[in-house]
Amino acid sequence: MAEKYRWVDSAIVGGAASAGVAGIVLAVTTLGLRSPFDVVPVTAASVIALIASGVALAAVSARPIIRRLNLRSAAVVTINLVVLGLIFAALWRIDGLFGEQVALRFVDAEGVVVLCRTAMVVGWVALALVVFAMIVTEKAQRLTASAAFVAVALVVSGVTYAVVYNYRSHVWRPDLTAEVASPAPLPATVGNLRYRVPLYVGALPGYARTVTVASVGNGFLTYTEDGLAAYDGPTGHLRWQVAGFSGYGQSVLVPRRAGDTAGVVVLVRGGALIALDGGSGQVLWRRSYSGSPGDLVSGVDSLGFMVKGDGDGEFTSLDPASGLTRWSKPISCRGASTPQAVTGQFLCDGDRDTTSIIDALKGNTIAEVTYGESAASQDGDVYVIVHYNRKRPLGADGVSIVDSRGNTVDEIPDARPIAPARHGYLLLAGDDEVPFWRNYRTHQSNPAKFSKVEFPTHVNTTWVADRLLIGEPYKGSRLRLLDPEQPAAEPVDMTSPCADTTYQLQAVPGAVVVSCNGYDSGSEIVGFVA
């Protein structure tokens, strides 16, 4: 009877050996492909799979010696002890490996987790088979064992390929990408109307959809009805597009260094961070985070996020070019993102008393300044801090100008900024609503050639070279180009290209674009090219 079923015993031996080899190959492949950002404990699981497969293969190889010395019982007990040890290790280290992870299709582009799961299953199967192989007393038939070895290898290879291929077909990728191109220079003049990009054309009459524009790549980035779209500045043609990231707080722009107009677009979704090249839309890196994320904080060569834990949470600083962790500390940093910030710094509004300037590379606190709404100058030399006071006409006591070391450069009482600072100049409105220029380097103020401003934060502005383009969000309002170095000179007047109201002005590589709200005809982006 034993001789009759000897082929089954031989098949078990061959299958155990094949599963052991396959498990080792899969585990080593997983370790080689794994990302530094494990969505699940891939490294620990791969090591456990490697040990399981290695023990199984070693036991099969040692089977002739075990038979000759009659050590089958000891071998079975030893293998069972190894199995128990690996089970405890698995329960301790690899929680969540086989669970459904929302972030996987955003983070694991290669299917490493699928390979790891397969390695674990194959490793356990190899251990189970080798226990039966130890019980067999007869010598294995070489032909049957070899056939079983090949059959198991083919089955494992085929199943692994099919599972990984199916997984990779569902990995999230941008809907459209472009070739990498050198960004055009920022415009020196407004230029002539060159194109119109219609958006939200199907909106109901009387209902306007606002269109926010940001300078990125070789042009501008904007939200669409179902995602983000990047357009070419000089031509207005679509360059790249992603779907599903149209919600507030689901993306942030990060220049990799000073002067990097292309930048990195970091997307946030379901426990995943995905960085795209601003010029092409191609994926630069993917990583996961755990916990409930707070707001992303960004600046030039600085990117960080809060993860709320059992206590106050932890703030993690990343390298925006690679996604690698620079440091993590249990500090609070929920300040607004400032893409034109001083290179390598965070502004962290940790409490209601102070704003901290944090070194994004090392994590040390450079300085603490009085709390307020913070924004950086466009050339990254200073921070402009607005001190709130709801009892004042403009809702603020005044403005402090602070350099990158936390030193106060200038203070302007009873005023609030209208536009970002640039090259030493800042346009503000006083309590009397009259705009004026402030040179924060010389501490001199001059009247500005512009009408009274009741709501400074509602005015649209953008710097075009060394002049400020400014307009108000009212139907029929004109655009004006002001020169801070010649405050008494008459501004250059322009007719607004918007049929209804102007929502935003933005200088981008190769163009000056105007975002128009359309109550009747839909919203659009208008491009002026020199």
- Per-residue pLDDT, 227: 80
Per-residue pLDDT band for 334 (boundaries 50, 70, 90) equals low
- Per-residue pLDDT, 272: 82
Residue 348 and residue 356 in contact, taking contact as beta carbons nearer than 8 Å: yes
Amino acid code (one letter) for 267: L
- What DSSP state is assigned to residue 162? H
* Rounded to 5°, angle at Cα 459 from 455 and 461: 150
Task: Return phi, psi of residue 103, to 5°.
Answer: -75, -15
Task: Return phi, psi of residue 13, to 5°.
Answer: -65, -50
Per-residue pLDDT band for 81 (boundaries 50, 70, 90) equals low
CB-CB neighbours of 451 under 10 Å:
12
> Average model confidence (pLDDT) for the chain?
80
- Per-residue pLDDT, 57: 79
Q: Per-domain residue ranges for the chain?
A: 6-168, 192-529
- Of 427, 351, 353, 431, the residue nearest 391 (C-alpha): 431
Query: Rounded CA gap, 490 and 393, in Å?
Result: 28
Per-residue pLDDT band for 83 (boundaries 50, 70, 90) equals low
Three-class DSSP labels, 393-410: CCCEEEEEEEECCCCEEE
Q: Is residue 92 predicted with pLDDT exceeding 50?
A: no
- Per-residue pLDDT, 290: 66
Q: Is residue 85 predicted with pLDDT exceeding 70?
A: no
- Of 202, 203, 51, 192, the residue nearest 127 (C-alpha): 51
Helix or strand holding residue 33 (H, E): helix 6-33
Q: Which residue has the tokens 């940001």?
A: 214
Task: Return phi, psi of residue 279, to 5°.
Answer: -80, -35
Model confidence over 190-245: pLDDT tens digits?
Answer: 989 999 998 865 554 444 566 788 888 899 998 877 788 999 999 999 999 998 77
Residue 345 and residue 254 in contact, taking contact as beta carbons nearer than 8 Å: no
What percent of the chain shows pLDDT beyond 70? 77
Query: Rounded CA gap, 503 and 209, in Å?
Result: 10
Looking at the structure, give the CATH architecture of the domain made up of residues 192-529: 7 Propeller (2.130)
Model confidence over 354-380: pLDDT tens digits?
Answer: 778 889 999 898 888 777 677 777 777
- Per-residue pLDDT, 414: 86
